[in-house]
Structure 1
Amino acid sequence: MDRLETAGSAYPAPELDVTQWFGGETSLQQLRGRVVMIEAFQMLCPGCLSYGLPQAQRVRKQFPEVAVIGVHTVFEHHEVTGPEALKVFLGEFGILFPVGVDRHDGQRIPVTMRAYELEGTPSTILIDRAGNLRFTHLGALPELQLGAMLGELQAEPA
């Protein structure tokens, strides 16, 4: 879905299926009425460290009305990326938005990652005020493009 879908072509965003929260538990239902940006990442992912998470941090600061959430969605290196390591990682990197740990159900790809049909990390997801999935993107996302999309979603009626 690598473009901003029109409101009429969007569909309800799947709820996040996480096993643990860091920085405050939240749900998409609780955030209805706000634009939501989800950054799906793995702490050992070079792209997540170099541009995905830093960009999410900038959005959190520059667009305080947008709810920014992280989803740690691990599909490799499970033995070294558990919740205790994630807690240290979030502190070391100063991640201040809520981060949920995507649930595993025995399959290689975690539940939320499958529900959003993500192809890898980092992935950026945008959800409109009505709770509809409007955009997903794998990899680096140009700042101007992201800012324009956030502005467009903010300008839509709730």
Structure 2
Amino acid sequence: MNPVSKAKIGCLPPDLSVSGWVQGEATNFEKLAGRVVLVEMFQVNCPGCFLYSLPQAIDLHQRYADQGLAVLAVATAFEDFDKNTLQNLVSLTETGQLIGETLRVLTEQGQTRNGRWRYRLPFPVAMDRLVKMEKPVTDQAVEQFIQQKLPDIAAHSSDYRQQIRRRVLNYLQSLEFRAETFERFDLQGTPSHVLVDKQGILLACRFGAFPELESLVRQLIADPVPA
């Protein structure tokens, strides 16, 4: 596993680990000190990311970038490794081309034109660093995964714990890669939202809907930076 410490709410976050920036200048939290930072984690083959979270991020960027908000997007991959690729991310940023389930669902909802997204991402975009999974999966890797995701498993029956271990083993054996930024922030899926205040403190790592995101961004922008 990556030796870099995991993200903790209320602490300085670990650096984003990316294989490259496909749009905008390379950056990280330290370079953005004094600004509120929103990182949108998405997958190219994730319809919900394109229906909800990315349009929300674009809207926040358009309305608050001049007031101190920095929005970044990091494309990750924890499944569908044949679709959630650097090549497809580059096609998205350069031409708006969609693929897979994202293309199918957005086309059904009338949100594409010739297979292309009706939005363009106006902020820096990077690809998460994908590391080839080691085979075979060790017992230590299974136990570490369980402790990270199910810290209260000891309270359950022995049969239940064995069932969970088998499921985790099968899941880890099915993975081709692990995504470093996705792991560092202990994310549960996509879309996910990482929010850092002006002092560089991690305030939120939220999976799925985040209805209070705008009000929190506005509050953080208004907060003065301590001298």
TM-score range, shorter chain: 0.7 to 0.9
TM-score by length of 2: 0.62
AA matched with 2:128: D
Aligned position for 2:29: 28
Distance 2:218 2:122 in 1: 22
Number of aligned residues: 148
Q: Please, which of 210, 215, 218 is the counterpart of residue 148 of structure 1? A: 215
Q: Choose between structure 1 and 2: higher helix proportion.
A: 2
Distance 1:147 1:85 in 2: 29
Runs of 4+ in 1 over 6 A off after TM superposition: none
Aligned position for 1:45: 46
Aligned position for 1:99: 125
Listed one character per residue, the Cα deviations across residues 17-47 of structure 1 (whole Å, up to 9, x for unaligned) are 0011022211111101100000000011111
Aligned position for 1:5: none
Distance 2:206 2:81 in 1: 24
Distance 2:39 2:194 in 1: 5
Distance 1:97 1:27 in 2: 13
Q: Does the CA-based 8 Å contact 2:76-2:84 persist in structure 1?
A: no
Distance 1:82 1:34 in 2: 30
Distance 1:59 1:109 in 2: 30
Offset of residue 106 of structure 1: 2.5
AA matched with 1:100: A
Q: Structure 2 unaligned runs (5+)?
A: 1-8, 97-116, 134-176
AA matched with 1:81: N
Distance 1:140 1:109 in 2: 24
Offset of residue 15 of structure 1: 0.6
Q: Does the CA-based 8 Å contact 1:124-1:138 persist in structure 2?
A: yes
Aligned position for 1:61: 62
More off after superposition, 82-91 vs 65-74: 82-91
Q: SS of 2:186's equivalent?
A: coil
Q: Please, which of 187, 204, 224 is the counterpart of residue 135 of structure 1? A: 204
Listed one character per residue, the Cα deviations across residues 40-82 of structure 1 (whole Å, up to 9, x for unaligned) are 0001111101101111111110111200000101111112232
Aligned position for 1:18: 18
Q: SS of 2:199's equivalent?
A: coil
AA matched with 1:70: A
Distance 1:106 1:84 in 2: 17
Q: SS of 1:77's equivalent?
A: coil
Distance 2:10 2:223 in 1: 14
Distance 2:57 2:93 in 1: 13
AA matched with 2:70: A
CA RMSD, 1 decimal: 1.4
Offset of residue 95 of structure 1: 0.9
Q: Structure 1 unaligned runs (5+)?
A: 1-8
Q: Does the CA-based 8 Å contact 1:47-1:140 persist in structure 2?
A: no
